Each structure stands twice: as structure tokens, then as C-alpha cells.
Amino acid sequence: MKVTYDKEADSMTITLRDERIKESDEVRPGIIVDFGYDGGVVRFEIMQASKVVQNTREIQFAIGES
């Protein structure tokens, strides 16, 4: 998984896997989801991220035990 923030565009991209994109869909205003050829989610893009993400310079990652 990879998270990138483009300050100039004010967009955050969360890439889940390295696959070619077949199609993209704006599932909510400002939230774009890219789908691969297998129909699965490849990445998310958050437009105007500074208005949505609390801190665009910090990422917290947690793994829950099952």
C-alpha cells in the first residue's frame, strides 16, 4: 500500500496494489475510485484532501489482531 499527497493539486492517492486501471468512478463528490481489469479496487483519490484529511503530512497505520 502506498499513500501520496500532491500539495499543488491538494489530492491524496491511496494505492492498494500495482495494477493497470480499467475504469474510474467518482463514488462520492471528490472521491474517485480506480478499478482494475479484475473489477477490484486498485486505488482511491481524495480531491481537496486538506479539507477532508485531518493532517496530510502524517499517516497512522494500525493492524488489528483477529
Q: How confident is the model at residue 21 (pLDDT cuts 50, 70, 90)?
A: very high
The predicted-structure confidence for 26-60, as pLDDT tens digits, reads as follows 999 999 999 999 999 999 999 999 998 888 788 77
pLDDT of residue 66: 67
Residue owning grid cell 483477529: 66
pTM of the full predicted structure? 0.84
Buried b (16+ CB within 10 A) or exposed e, 12-24: bbeeeeebeeeee
Q: How confident is the model at residue 14 (pLDDT cuts 50, 70, 90)?
A: very high
Q: How confident is the model at residue 65 (pLDDT cuts 50, 70, 90)?
A: confident
